[in-house]
Amino acid sequence: MFSLICNLRHIFLARGTPAIRCYPAVKRAGSHGKLERLPPGFGKTTPLSLFIKENFASRKNEQPTKIFSNLIKQWKSLDEADKGKYVDEALRINEERRSKFEAMSETEKEELRRRAKNLKEARVKRKIRLERRKKRESDGQRPMSGWMLFVKEKAVKGAADTGKKQQDIIKELAIVWKSLPKSDKDMYSERAKDFSKSGEICDLTKAVVHEMLKCNVISILLVLVVVCCNDRELARLQIGVKKRVDNCEMRSRKGDTLNVHYVGMLEDGTEFDNSRSRNKPFMFTLGMGQVIKGWDQGLLNMCEGEQRRLAIPSDLAYGSSGSPPKIPPDASLKFDIELLKIEREEDL
C-alpha cells in the first residue's frame, strides 16, 4: 500500500500538481487500523521546515518573526518543481526515521511510547501551571497567608545563591512547612492575618519571583537539618567524567540525537542492562523525555568520545514504580556511558 501511494505521488508530481507527502505512521496491535503518531525524535519533518532551516541562517540582520513571515511568503511563491526537492528530502528523512523506529524491539518501542505519553502529560501540567501563574500575576496582590509569610521570611531574606532554582527552593520549603507542628503553622497564620489587617499584602508579581531566586539557602538547609534530621539526605544527580576528549568540536545539547553505549547498574553494582553485550548502540533525542530524567540532565554538554559515570537518584530514574523485574521501586542507579556520535538536525 505504501509503495502504491508513493507511486501516485510521483505521478502527480510529474503532472505539476501538488506532491503527496508519504509518511506512514506505525500501526499498533489492537488499534483497529488507526495510525499512531511516532514518538518524539521520530516525528515528521515537513518540506517547509527544511526550506526554513536552509534559508534562516542567511538572514542574520532581521528579526526572527520577520524572517519566518518572509520565508513562508517565499515558500508559497515557489513553483512545484522548486518545492519538489524539499518534498523528496523530507520524504527521505521521514522514511529513514520510520525505518529506525521499526527496527527497534517491541520493548524499546513501548518504552518510547510510555515516555512520549509522560512528556505530553508534563506539557499539559506546565500549561496549567503557567495559566495559574498568569492569573496570579493579573490579580496583582492578594492577602498574605501563613505559608506566604513563611516563604517570605525563609526564602526572600538573606544572602543570594544564584545557583539555586526557585522551583527547588519552594519544594524544600514545602517539605519543611509540612513537617512543622500545627502550633507553628497557626502562629504564622495569625501573624499573616495581622499583616493583612494592617494593610501589608503579599506581592506575587515578577519582582518577588525574582527576589525569591536570591534566597538564603543556608537558612533553608539549617531548617531542614533541624526538622528532618531523621530523614535521609535528599539525593542529587552526580556526574563523573571517566574519559575526557582533548579536542572537543561539538558538545551535546537539547534536541540532539545521541548514539551511546552504556552499562546500567543498581547501587550495589548488579548489572541490569548493557548495550555492548547486544553490540548495538542506543539512540535517543536528548531533552525530549525519551529517557529517564537523569540521562536528559547528565548527558548535556558531552563530547563525542567522552565517557561519564552517572549516579542517578530514584526520583530522576524510575521512581516508586521501578522497572520490574530488574529494577526495584525507589532504586538509585549507576550508568557508565560513552557518547559515540552526535546527530544534529542542521547537519542532516
Active-site position among 284, 318, 336, 337: 318
> Is 23 an annotated catalytic residue?
no
> Is 272 an annotated catalytic residue?
yes
Task: Give residues with Cβ within 8 angstroms of 57, minimum separation 6.
Answer: none
* Residue 60 Cα distances to 57, 63, 64, 66, 74, angstroms: 6, 8, 9, 11, 17
* Residue 237 Cα distances to 41, 185, 315, 331, angstroms: 25, 32, 10, 13
3-state secondary structure of 215: coil
Active-site position among 88, 161, 273, 330: 273
What's the per-residue H, E or C state across 141-160? EECCCHHHHHHHHHHHCCCC
Q: How far, in Å, CA of 97 to CA of 32, rounded?
A: 24
C-alpha cell at 214: 536570591
Q: How far, in Å, CA of 175 to CA of 189, rounded?
A: 18
* Whether the Cβ atoms of residue 20 and residue 88 lie closer than 8 Å to each other: no
CB atoms < 10 A from the CB of 107, how many? Answer: 8
Active-site position among 335, 336, 337, 342: 335
Task: Give residues with Cβ within 8 angstroms of 113, minimum separation 6.
Answer: 39
Q: How far, in Å, CA of 145 to CA of 200, rounded?
A: 11
Classify residue 145 by burial, with Cβ atoms within 10 Å: 0-12, 13-18, 19+. middle
- Exposure string over 199-237, b if 16+ CB within 10 A, otherwise e: eeebbbeeebeebbebbbbeebeebbeebeeeeeeeeeb
Q: Is the preceding peptide bond at 324 cis, omega within 30 degrees of 0?
A: no
> Is 262 an annotated catalytic residue?
yes
> Is 12 an annotated catalytic residue?
no
> Is 273 an annotated catalytic residue?
yes
> Is 188 an annotated catalytic residue?
no
What is the DSSP-derived secondary structure letter of residue 268?
T
Active-site position among 262, 296, 327, 337: 262
Active-site position among 68, 195, 272, 315: 272
Active-site position among 169, 220, 292, 327: 292
Active site residues: 262, 272-273, 292, 318, 335
